[in-house]
Structure 1
Amino acid sequence: MASKRTGPSAWAQDRLLRMLIGALLLLPYRWRVPLCGWVMSRLIAPFAGWDRRVRRNLARVLPELPAAEVARLARAVPDNVGRAVIEIYSGPEFARRAARQPIHGPGLAALDMAHAQGKPVILVTGHFGNYDASRAALMARGYRLGALYRPMNNRYFNDHYVRAITAIGAPLFPRGKEGLAGMLRHLRGGGMLALLVDVHMHAGAVLRFFGQPARTALSAAELALRYDAALVPVYAIRAENGLDFEIRVEAPIPRGTPEEMTQALNDSLEAVVRQHLDQWFWIHRRWRA
C-alpha cells in the first residue's frame, strides 16, 4: 500500500516535522529523547487532539480510573510516543543502545531453537514502549528478523521514515502487494517476521481487547499456521529512566484457530498494557467495531 497523500499541505507538514527532528538530532541522545517527549506531550498532542482521544479511550475501557490518573496518562502517553519517534530517527545510535538491553522471558529458548534449526517465527507486538527496540535487540542477538510496516499516508514524510527504520535494521516489507512476495520468501527461508496487530482493521475479525469488541487482523496467526511458524509475543518495556528498555519474550501461542490464536495475542498485549498503562499508544482509534 503506497503512500498517496501529496500537495502543499502534506509538504508543509513534512517540512515542519523535518525541521523539528533535525533540530532534536543536534542534541545529545540523553537530552533529545526526553525533550521530544515533552514537545509531543505539551505542544503537539493538545493541538492534534491526542489528549482528548486518550481520555475517550480510557473512559471506554477503564472507566474506573481516578481522574488524576487519567490526567497523568493524557500527558504520559504522548510523551512516550514522542520519545519513540525521535529514538527511531536516531537510527544506529538507538540500535546500539537497544542491543545492550536485557532480553528474557519464557519464549526466548523457543526463539533460540528456531534460529538454530532455521525455522520461521512470527513475532507479534503492539504500539507499546518502543516496538523497534525489540527488533533492534533481537537482530543484535543474531536473528534473521524482518518486519512488516504500514507506509505513512504523507508521501513526503514516508520517504525519510522508511530510511530511518531501515537504518535500525533490515529487511523491511511494506504492507500490501508490494511487500508480500519478499515477506513470504523471508518466512519460507526460515526467517523471523515482526508484526504489529493492535490497530483497527476494517476487515478484521471482531475479537475482544480490554473487554470491548475490536476488529483485529488474523494475518499473524494465519501465517504461523500456514508456514508452521511459532507465534511469539514480544514487548519492549520502557525503563524508569525513560531511555532504556526491558525486552520481554512471552511463551509461544498454542496452536488453534486463527481467531483463538489472535485473541490470545490480544490478551497478552492487554496484560502488559495493564502493567504499564502509559506505554501503550492510546492515541489510536482502536475500538471502532
Structure 2
Amino acid sequence: MPAPRSRSRRGNVEQSGPAVCRRARDGGRAEPAQQHRAHPLSRLRRDQRGAHRTFALTLMADIADTAASEATRCGIDTVEVRRIERLLAETASEDLNRIFSAQELSDSGEGPGRAASLAARFAAKEACAKLFPRELALGLIEPIDFSVARDGYGAPQVVCSARAQALIDQQRIRAIVVSLTHDRVSASAVALALAARSAAPIAGRILYYALPVRRAVILENLRRVFGAGVPEGEIKRLAQAHYAHLWRLFGEFLRFRWLSAAQQAAIVRTEVDALKHALGEGKGVLILTGHFGNFEVATIAGLARFPEMQGRIHFVRRAIKPRWLDALVTRRFRQAGFGVMSKRGSLDAILERLAAGDVIVFPFDQHASPPDGIEVEFFGHPAWTFKSLSIMALATGAPVLPAASWRESDGHHVLRFEEPLPPIHDENVNEEIRRNTRAYNAALERLILRHPEQWFWVHRRWKQVVRRRPAAKSTRYY
C-alpha cells in the first residue's frame, strides 16, 4: 500500500516583485523599529514570536535578491486569522470600511477564506506602516493609509493615501513592494521600501561643479526638506538634476519666441477642467502656484489655447533681476493677453478683477517678510509666507485652486489645475488666516514633491527674519 501523500502546511502566497529584507534571510530578527506598534485596534495584535512568525519569515526568504539591494527599510507583520474572524463578526459594515478599502473587501470575497484574505491585507497595512516608525509613533501615518489592490496579473500592489504618498515622496521612496502569505491559522506580510535615485544629466553635473551659483543654498534647502532620511548622495544627485533643469529652462525660454503658435501649443498639454468649473461660479478664481517646471513657457503656451480666457487671467508678480529679464518676461505675458500686477499696492485692483469674475495667479512659494507675511510651517520648518492670499479668499469667497507645470521626459510640458482647496473657518480671525495659509503651503509641498528637481531651489525660502523691538519710551519724572 503506497504511503499516504503528505499535505503541505504552506498556505496561499501572494508576492509583489522581489520584496524581502536581509533580516528575514538571516534568521528573522526584526529591527527594533519594526517591532514597535503604535496604532490602536489592539485586538488584532499578537506576539510575533513563535512558530507562525518563523514560518512566515522563512517563506518570505524565497523572494529574489534583486530588490533587496535597493531597499532602504523593511516592515514585517503577522496577524492571527481568528482575530479577523472575530472582527468581521462584531463590526458593522460601515466600520469595516474605515479599516479596509472597498477594493480589499471586494477582493477577499464572501467565502470561507474571507477572514484569512483580509488578515493578510491587514498584516500588509501594518508592515507598510512600520516602514515609517517615527511618523507612526507621532500619529502622522496609520496602517489605514495603506491598502492592497491587485494589478492586471493578480499580484498585490500597495495603494497609498494622499498623506502616505506625500511621506513616501519626501523620503525619496520609489515604491513599496509587498509579499503576502496566509494559512488557516495566521497571515503574514513583508513590505519593502525601494529607494528612489535621481537621474543627473551630464549638463547638470558639469554646471554643479563649473558654475556653482547658489549651490550652497540649493543643498541646504534640499537637506532641509528631505532630512537625514535621504542619503547625501541622493541629495547631491537632486541638486545636479536641478542644475540640468535650469539649463533646459534657460534654453527653452530663449527658443520659445521663435516658435510658431502651433509649435507652442504642441509642446504643452493642459488640464483645465477644474479651472473652467471654478470660473462658472462667478466669484473669480485665485490660483495657488509656485515656480514649477518652466512656469513661463508652460503658462503662456498652455493658456493661449483657450481664447475665451484672453484678458481674464492676471499674474501677481514680484520684479526679478536683472531689469531687462523682468521687462522681457512682462512683455511676453502681456503680448499673450495676460495682465500683470505687482505684489505691492495692487490689492484694490485684485479685488476689482475678482469681482468681475477673473482669474488671479498668485506665486506663493517665495519668502514674505512682515507685515506682508506670517510665520507658518513649510516642509516641517517655520517659513514666512504671504498672508494676503488667505485674506482675499476668505473675504471674497473666491475658490483657491492649486496649479503646477512640469516637464515630461520627452520634453513636453504639462500644465494642470487641481480641484479647489476647502476653506478653513475659525472664530479667531488670525487663527483662520494662519490655518488657511498653512493649508496652502501643504498643497505646495505635494506639488513640489511630485517633481522635486523642477522646483526653484535657489530661492532662500526659509530666510530668517530679525524682529526689531520698538524703542522704549523715555519716562519723565517731575
Tell me how far apart the structure 2 counterparts of residues 93 and 116 of structure 1 sit (CA, whole Å). 33
- TM-aligned CA deviation for residue 215 of structure 1: 0.8
Matched, 1:187 2:351: no
- Tell me the equivalent position of 2:438: 263
The residue type equivalent to 2:323 in the other structure is R
Cα gap change, 1:270 to 1:114, in 2 (>3 Å): closer
| Cα offsets for 1:254-284 (capped at 9, x unmatched) | 1122222221221112122222221111111
2:278 corresponds to 1:114: yes
Q: CA deviation at 1:285?
A: 0.6
Contact 2:304 2:336 in 1 (8 A): no
Alignment partner of 1:93 is 2:290: no
How many residues in Structure 1 have an aligned counterpart in Structure 2? Answer: 248
Quick one: distance in 2 between partners of 1:183 and 1:58?
34
Partner Cα distance (2:377, 2:210) in 1: 29
For residue 123 of structure 1, report the CA deviation from its aligned partner.
0.6
Q: Is the CA contact (8 Å cut-off) linking 1:98 and 1:244 kept in structure 2?
A: no
**Maintained 8 Å contact 2:313/2:359:** yes
- Cα 1:279–1:156 shift into 2, 3 Å: closer
1:233 equivalenced with 2:417 (yes/no): no
Q: How big is the shift at 1:71?
A: 1.9
Q: CA deviation at 1:44?
A: 8.7
Q: Compared with structure 1, are the counterparts of its residues 192 and 41 closer, same or farther at alpha carbon in structure 2 (3 Å cutoff)?
A: farther
Amino acid aligned to 1:140: R
Q: Is the 8 A contact 2:273 2:417 kept in 1?
A: no
Rounded to whole Å, the distance in 2 between the matches of 1:161 and 1:226 is: 31
- Contact kept, 8 Å, 2:208 with 2:239, in 1: the verdict is no
Question: What is the CA deviation profile of residues 84-129 of structure 1, one whole-angstrom value per residue up to 9, with x for unaligned ones?
Answer: 344344248397556443333xxx5442233345430001111111
1:146 aligned to which of 314, 324, 328? 314
- Highest Rg: 1 or 2? 2
Question: Structure 1 residues 159 and 135, CA, compared in 2 at 3 Å: closer, same or farther?
Answer: closer
Q: Distance in 1 between matches of 2:407 and 2:416?
A: 11
What TM-score results when the alignment is normalised by the length of structure 1?
0.74
Give the aligned partner of residue 128 of structure 1: 292
Kindly state the Cα deviation for residue 209 of structure 1 after the two structures are TM-superposed.
1.3
Name the one with the larger strand percent. Answer: 2
2:259 is the counterpart of 1:84: no
Counterpart amino acid of 1:230? P
Q: Secondary structure at the match of 1:61?
A: helix
Out of 44, 67, 71, the position equivalent to 2:236 is 71
- How do 1:24-35 and structure 2 match up within 5 A? none
| 1:200 matched to 2:375 | no
Name the CA distance, whole Å, in 2 between partners of 1:68 and 1:261: 36
Distance 1:119 1:93 in 2: 35
- Which blocks of at least 5 consecutive residues in structure 1 are unaligned? 1-36
The aligned amino acid for 1:74 is A
Q: Give the share of equivalent positions with the same residue, in percent.
A: 29
Q: Does 1:160 align with 2:328?
A: yes
Deviation of 1:164 after TM superposition, in Å, equals 3.2
Q: Is contact 2:391–2:433 with CA below 8 Å preserved after alignment? A: yes
Contact 1:239–1:245 (CA under 8 A) maintained in structure 2: yes
> Does the 8 Å contact 2:292/2:406 carry over to 1?
yes
Q: Which amino acid aligns with 2:219?
A: R
Q: Distance in 1 between matches of 2:362 and 2:260?
A: 20
Pairing partner for 1:220 from 389, 408, 415: 389
Equivalent-residue separation in structure 2 for 1:137 and 1:159 (angstroms): 21
One-letter amino acid of the counterpart of residue 445, structure 2? E
CA contact (8 A) 2:208 2:215 kept: no
Give the Cα separation in 1 of the matches to 2:366 and 2:292. 12
Distance 1:198 1:92, change over 3 A: farther
Q: CA 1:110–1:74 in structure 2 vs 1: closer, same or farther (change >3 Å)?
A: closer
Tell me: CA distance 1:70–1:244, structure 2 relative to 1, closer, same or farther (3 Å).
same
Separation of aligned partners in 2, 1:95 and 1:196: 26
Deviations 1:164-223 (A, max 9, x none): 33334411112222x444433322211001111111111111111111111110112211
More helix by share: 1
Deviations 1:222-263 (A, max 9, x none): 11222221100011121112x312222222111122222221
Task: Rate the CA distance shift 1:148–1:82 in 2: closer, same or farther, 3 A.
Answer: farther
Alignment partners' CA distance in 1, 2:260 and 2:351 = 28
Please report the RMSD computed on the Cα atoms of aligned residues, expressed in angstroms: 2.8
Q: Is 1:247 paired with 2:410?
A: no
Normalising to structure 2: TM-score of the pair? 0.47
Report the secondary structure of 1:148's partner residue: strand
Higher relative contact order (CA 8 A, sep 6+): 1
Hey, what's the Cα distance between the residues in 1 that align with 2:340 and 2:366? 19
In structure 1, what residue type is equivalent to 2:380?
G
Match of 1:287 among 452, 462, 468: 462
- 2:273 & 2:233 partners in 1: Cα distance? 41
